[in-house]
Amino acid sequence: MKARPRTPGKTAALALVPPGALEAETFMLGCLELVVLRYQSVPKTSAPSLTPAEQHVVELLIRGLRTKDIAALRGTSLHTVSNQLATIYRKFDVSTRQELLAKL
């Protein structure tokens, strides 16, 4: 059986893997050469410390609620939630809701 040539599309995905995070082990099973890939996930940096109120706001953001809906649900003013969001954005070093959700 002839070995298949490697396709660029399959190896391009490996370029996204951090160095040292992927280990390959090969072994023979009869006439087949098997390759086992082990991916060691790299832990994310620790999240900034959030107050319980900020944590709740983030949970509601993840659920897709709008700022005014978060305020109504929490029984606080729109201004309070806006201030909490500004603090959360600053702690995560982001400037938009989409950037924040991408970091979570």
Which CATH number belongs to the domain containing residue 56 in this structure? 1.10.10.10
80 contacts 87 by C-beta, under 8 angstroms: no
Structural domains in the chain (count): 1
What letter would DSSP give residue 34? E
Residues of the chain with pLDDT > 90, as a percent, come to 51
> One-letter amino acid identity for 49?
S
Lowest mean pLDDT among 9-13, 47-51, 69-73: 9-13
- Domain-located, residue 79: yes
Average pLDDT, integer, range 24-31? 84
Nearest to 61 by CA among 73, 51, 76, 48: 73
- Domain-located, residue 56: yes
Going from the C-alpha of 83 to that of each of 30, 39, 56, 90, 103, the distances in angstroms are: 65, 40, 14, 11, 20
Lowest mean pLDDT among 35-39, 59-63, 68-72: 35-39
Range of the domain at 92: 52-103
pLDDT(33) > 50 = yes
Report field, pTM of the whole predicted structure over 0.85: no
DSSP 3-state assignment of 58? helix
- Domain-located, residue 11: no
Going from the C-alpha of 79 to that of each of 4, 49, 70, 86, the distances in angstroms are: 62, 22, 11, 11
- Domain-located, residue 86: yes
CB neighbours (10 Å) of residue 17? 13
